[in-house]
Amino acid sequence: MAKWSDLVTLPYGDTIFEHFRRPRNQGALAAATVSQEGSNPLCGDRVRVELRLEGETVVEAGFTANACAVCVAAASVLTDLVRGAHIEDVATFTSDELLRALGAELPRSRVSCATLPLTVLHTGVTLHRQRAREEAR
């Protein structure tokens, strides 16, 4: 007998389906060093990405989202990828790298859903670095 999960069509692939059903790192961080929220005004997706840094290394990453399956899955994958990374590597992480990690060919109309968490993360890192430079003066 076929299982329900075997009968479901997965339009965006196994990785997106799995990370949407069982998101990793979902939830607010108690002591975030970086915290940034953003939204996509066209579709209404809203996501907050948080990092806890020790020195220049991401030791914890989390997210909260009121968003579509693609955005939630992308935030889950992204927070997995940046844990343990140096802040410079986080700042230069590309949308192509994230899309490859999602393992699916997304329609152009859904790429902005997948890249919203990365855009929010980059904004947060940029603002964190600006504050650090200002405090160092």
Asked if residue 126 belongs to a domain, the reply is yes
The CATH number that applies at residue 54 is: 3.90.1010.10
Residue 49 pLDDT class (50, 70, 90 cuts): very high
Give pLDDT, residue 13: 86
Asked if residue 111 belongs to a domain, the reply is yes
Q: pLDDT tens digit string along 56-112? A: 999 999 999 999 999 999 999 999 999 999 999 999 999 999 999 999 889 998 999
Nearest alpha-carbon partner for 78 in 127, 36, 129? 36
Asked if residue 50 belongs to a domain, the reply is yes
The rounded distance, in Å, linking the Cα atoms of 103 and 44 is: 24
Asked if residue 57 belongs to a domain, the reply is yes
SS3 123: helix
- How many domains in the chain? 1
Evaluate whether 114 touches 99 at the Cβ level (below 8 Å): yes
Asked if residue 67 belongs to a domain, the reply is yes
Whole-prediction pTM? 0.90
Taking all residues of the chain, what is their mean pLDDT, rounded to a whole number? Answer: 92
Asked if residue 7 belongs to a domain, the reply is no
Give pLDDT, residue 7: 43
Asked if residue 113 belongs to a domain, the reply is yes
The rounded distance, in Å, linking the Cα atoms of 50 and 21 is: 21
Asked if residue 121 belongs to a domain, the reply is yes
